[in-house]
Chains A and B, each alone.
Chain A
Amino acid sequence: MSEAVTLSGPARGRLAPFRRQTRRVASRAGVKASGFEGQLLPLLLLAPQLLILLLFFFIPAVRVLVQAFTLQDPFGQDIIFVGLENIQALLRSAEYHASAWASVVFTLASTVLTLVVGLVLAFATDRVVRLRGGYRTVLLVPYAIAPAIAGILWAFLFNPVVGPAAFLLHALGIPWNPTRVGNHAMVLVVLAASWKHVCYNYIFLLAALAAVPRTVMEAAAVDGASPLRRFFAIQLPMITPTIFFLVVMNVVHGLFETFAIIDATTRGGPAAATSILVYKVYVDGFVNLDLGGSAAQSLLLMVFAMILTFIQFRAIDRRVSYDLGQ
């Protein structure tokens, strides 16, 4: 993931790779010509990265693949090959369906929320002249907070017994209780995860907005287009590649990288209402010591992620313009 984003300057470079991608295709030969002579050096240069991939991705992935088809005791004494039983059991189980559904709700809700809020904030700071740096810094702070701390913070703020935010909700007559009502807990984890991830969206959108040519904007302004009109007619269409990229990143983030925040905020409860797929993998594997079942879930999750990414690129890619010259 490219999380190392510099904030200095108008950050035009951010958009550049997207813009150039399509143009590069034509000149592939040129790229090849400037390549290495022989194979030893490139292989050597690739080796560290490949080694890391091998150790931390390929070996575990293969082991998961094997484990998913076995029933085994945690100490590895006996391994019974059970074929597709683990996967069939999962597909039958109501809890797994509930977990998948919770993942969909959680991911969609947090993706939409982070994008919309990120866009509003980026649009607003794009128009701010004074203290722009100050606003940006304040808006970026949540990203620097560890997920576990953020989760506990939100859990405490909205704790129905002692949380100040919960008091406010109760005072407004809302029977807020995330420790008993599943939907409330879902709202809480969506808020917590989005609050942390909105910053990520914000920097990218801010950079994208800065990359929209001033001349176009000024021309529109001269023609009498209001800031909102300019935003919807010019800026938004021009930053669609970034939005598409962020949709992909947010979905991936929601599905796979929110374990810590869920663990700290709700522990998947109540009644597994916030136990999204990644969290269920952890609970079944590391709390319940059901290695086969947990591995089968990982496998399905992997397949699920691949299908999702494929659909996203196929469906959305066609409608996204990478060419600013259009």
Chain B
Amino acid sequence: MSSTVMTRRAALAAGAGLLAAPFLPARAQGQRREVRFWHAMTGVVGERVEELCRRFNESQAQVTVTAVYRGTYDELINATVAAYRTRTQPQLVQIYERGFMTMLLSNAIVPVHELMAANGHRVDWSDFIKPIAGFYTWRNQLQAMPFNSSTPILFYNKAMFQRAGLEKPAATWQELEEQLRRMKAAGVPAGTVMAGDYHWSWFENYSAINDMPYATRNNGFDGLDAEFVYNRTGVVGQVARMKRWLDDGLMVMAGQGFSPESVFTSGRAATYIASTAAHAGVMAARDLPWDATYLPHEEGKDPRNSTIGGAVLWALRGHSDADNGATAQFLAYLAKPETQVWWHKATGYVPATNTAYQMAKSEGWYRERPTQELAVLQLSRGTPTANSLGFRFGNFTQTMMAQREEAERAFAGQKAPQAAMDDAVSRGNEILRRFERLNQGRY
């Protein structure tokens, strides 16, 4: 098979230059530079994004950041791709953690570390908390600005636990299952509800917390030639556990037309394993006696840190130095501890820096809201190992979709959990190989 590689970089650079010229706005003295910022946040958090930009715009006179909602994370990365290919990309985009490798090796981005240095902004990069910095750092440099980071925790309905004479969820999966059975016997409709992103909490974070490898090459951190190995770890047991819970009525699926969060907040399930970002919805529920705790771990294991999810802000290439300067100015504002604390309080996302965390703590923020500190505590639990640092896979969305499909086959009883995960791994590895082939020598 003949294969020709056409490098488009030269054509791209020329094209960008030609196209950019007519669009350079005739700027009068004192006029503000505009930074277009595409995001995927809806509801309350969407409003907070708007507010964040408004606060920044009012804080200085040179730059106006315009936040534009461009659909879900999936739609947003698509819109970014389309915009980049037609040279109409914004300066700043919010891309989910699964898109890290796609963005990193796209040659379409300016690493945030470089961007800040080039524009004379001093950011204390070592201040970013380990699980976040570790996830987005490549060659010792943070590649994108941490924005909204979260981690899954276990929300629970206190009244339902009390009904079965229990105080709170147990620390291990085994004990938790016993508790759910007792609650079921005591008339609680269901023990738990399956979250929309169960692959993240039940498989990925499970592997990190229980110190199990997910893939070779340190979960992909050491090279594009990584191969999934989770079909030989406890993940298979997790699939079996989910199937058993579904079969025994301990777990329900919300299904299309209804949301897992509503199943929990309307008192139809005793527990809900979900992102800390679910705080907003859970707190908004009326008369829900809820609390939250750490994710469970396997019996006899020393629980490690969980990993993050969420998104970061990527600065895109193809803009003038002045525009990049404006983008950097906004990112510098974002990295300030005061902004971080405000964002953390307003949205419930994890504070990205240690300083911000300490500030919120010293202000007494967690005394009344202990569950908001859970994420930070869980993210820094135990001694990190190579298995708990995070995941670095190309085409990560695609491998995850394949994995979910196979897991769902197991839930429906079409395949045994082991066979399902074997197939998920072989499909996933094929997808990883395609990414490797396309990005040879770049990582």
Q: Which A residues fall within an 8 A CB radius of B?
A: 71-83, 85, 95, 152, 155-163, 177-182, 264-267, 269-272, 283-284, 286-290
Contacts and interface: CB of A to CB of B under 8 A. Distances in A.
Interface in B125-140: none
The 5 A-B pairs of least Cβ separation, nearest first, read: A179-B255, A155-B257, A156-B257, A271-B408, A288-B398
Contacts of A71: 434, 437-438
Nearest to B411: A180
Interface string B239-265: 000000010000011111110000100
Contact of A73 (B2, B78, B106, B397): B106
A73 to B, nearest CB: 5
Interface residues of B, number: 47
A275 to B, nearest CB: 9
B197 interface: no
A72 B107 CA distance: 13
Interface in B1-15: 1-9
B85 interface: yes
A139 B255 CA distance: 29
Contact of A78 (B5, B75, B78, B253): B5
Nearest to A93: B427
A101 to B, nearest CB: 14
Interface string B393-409: 00101100100011011
B106 A74 contact: yes
A286 B106 contact: no
Given A75-B85, A76-B8, A78-B7, 12 more contacts: A75-B84, A78-B6, A79-B5, A80-B3, A80-B5, A81-B2, A157-B257, A159-B255, A160-B255, A179-B254, A270-B412, A271-B405
Contacts of A272: 405, 408
Contacts of A271: 405-406, 408-409, 411-412, 414
A271 B415 CA distance: 11
Nearest to B439: A73
Contacts of A269: 408
B285 interface: no
Contacts of B7: 77-78
Contacts of B397: 287-289
Given A75-B84, A77-B106, A283 B401 contact: yes
Interface of B: 1-9, 74-75, 77-78, 81, 84-85, 102, 105-108, 246, 252-258, 263, 268, 395, 397-398, 401, 405-406, 408-409, 411-412, 414, 427, 434, 437-439
Nearest to A270: B408
Contact of A156 (B2, B3, B258): B258
Contacts of B78: 286, 289
A289 B395 contact: yes
Of residues A79, A156, A271, which shows the largest number of chain B Cβ atoms within 10 Å of its Cβ? A271
A177 B268 CA distance: 17
Contact of B77 (A85, A264, A289): A289
Contacts of A80: 3-5, 437-438
20 contacts: A71-B434, A77-B9, A78-B5, A82-B1, A83-B2, A95-B427, A156-B258, A159-B254, A161-B252, A177-B253, A179-B255, A180-B408, A269-B408, A270-B411, A271-B406, A271-B414, A272-B405, A286-B74, A287-B397, A289-B395
Nearest to B435: A73
A270 B77 CA distance: 24
A226 B184 CA distance: 60
A287 B401 contact: yes
Contacts of B252: 161
A139 to B, nearest CB: 25
A73 B438 contact: yes
B412 A81 contact: no
Contact of A79 (B6, B75, B105, B401): B6
B223 to A, nearest CB: 18
Of residues A75, A156, A286, which shows the largest number of chain B Cβ atoms within 10 Å of its Cβ? A75
Contacts of A156: 257-258
Contact of B4 (A77, A81, A264, A286): A81
Contacts of B257: 152, 155-159, 162-163
B109 to A, nearest CB: 9
Contacts of A266: 256
A264 B257 CA distance: 8
Nearest to B430: A89
B439 to A, nearest CB: 7
Contacts of B256: 152, 155, 159, 178-179, 264-267
A182 B107 contact: no
A265 B411 CA distance: 20
Contact of A74 (B102, B253, B258, B412): B102
A78 B2 contact: no
